[in-house]
Amino acid sequence: SIGKKAKKIMMDMQAGDVVSTYADTSILEKEFDYKAHTSLTDGIHAFIAWYKQYNTNNDKAEVHND
């Protein structure tokens, strides 16, 4: 946890949103003999650890309000 509660704003589907998507990594696996092994849970935990360290080393995270 990063110590903040997520602010959710539920909206209708936006232009460019997709209901579901699946990556076909078969060419990557064949051409580069590589297959990712990171589970979603492990990836989220790794991202949170990186985020905390990044924001500790930088006074403020850059925020874009585009």
2-42: pLDDT as tens digits = 788 889 999 999 999 999 888 888 998 999 998 888 998 99
Q: Using CA atoms, how far apart are residues 23 and 40, in angstroms rounded to an integer?
A: 14
Q: What pLDDT is attached to residue 4?
A: 83
Listed in order, strand segments (DSSP E) in the chain are none
The verdict on pTM exceeding 0.75 is no
| The pLDDT value given to residue 14 | 94
